[in-house]
């Protein structure tokens, strides 16, 4: 009888450990290609607009409504551009500037450009925020 109690406890611990391991969920991973848009609030804090549809797809996409955007990030695409008008009107392409370190290999990050290459520190060249209505991303070949 004295041996039975420790064996019962060990069995219960093993069962509990296996159950809790099966309930653990894998971390949610962001898609390998996506564009992110950030706004700022009255306290100057960044907020990602995460509910925008089609952020992980290449091509031209309209925002549900024109929004004042502070910063743009893109991962995995060859390049992205943002526009002040719907349907990626070439007349309304917005100029961006890289706010990170100077690059030896990416000339787009060393001067104002309309082609955002991968990175998370793209700001608008002509002001703190800009009204963005659409974006276009080109997939890597």
> Does residue 65 lie in a domain region?
yes
> Does residue 44 lie in a domain region?
yes
> Does residue 5 lie in a domain region?
no
> Does residue 3 lie in a domain region?
no
Closest C-alpha among 130, 123, 133, 118 to residue 34: 118
* Interval 2-56: pLDDT, tens: 555 555 555 444 444 444 444 445 555 555 899 999 999 889 899 999 999 999 9
> Does residue 45 lie in a domain region?
yes
> Does residue 6 lie in a domain region?
no
Closest C-alpha among 34, 38, 39 to residue 61: 34
Number of domains comprising the chain: 1
Q: Alpha helices of 1-137 — where are they, by DSSP H?
A: 4-23
> Does residue 29 lie in a domain region?
no
> Does residue 53 lie in a domain region?
yes
Domain carrying residue 61: 34-138
* Interval 95-107: pLDDT, tens: 999 999 989 999 8
**What predicted TM-score, i.e. pTM, was given to this entire model?**
0.76
């Amino acid at each position: 009888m004295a041996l039975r109690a420790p064996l019962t406890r060990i069995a219960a611990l093993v069962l509990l450990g296996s159950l809790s391991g099966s309930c653990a969920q894998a971390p949610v991973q962001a898609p390998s290609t996506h564009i992110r848009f950030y706004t700022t609030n009255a306290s100057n804090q960044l907020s990602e607009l995460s509910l925008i549809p089609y952020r992980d797809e290449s091509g031209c996409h309209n925002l549900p409504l024109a929004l004042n955007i502070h910063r743009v990030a893109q991962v995995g695409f060859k390049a992205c551009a943002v526009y002040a008008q719907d349907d990626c009107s070439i007349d309304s392409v917005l100029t961006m500037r890289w706010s990170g370190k100077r690059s030896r290999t990416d000339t787009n990050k060393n001067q104002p450009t309309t082609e955002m290459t991968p990175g998370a520190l793209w700001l608008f060249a002509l002001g703190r925020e800009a009204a963005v209505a659409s974006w276009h991303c080109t997939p890597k070949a």
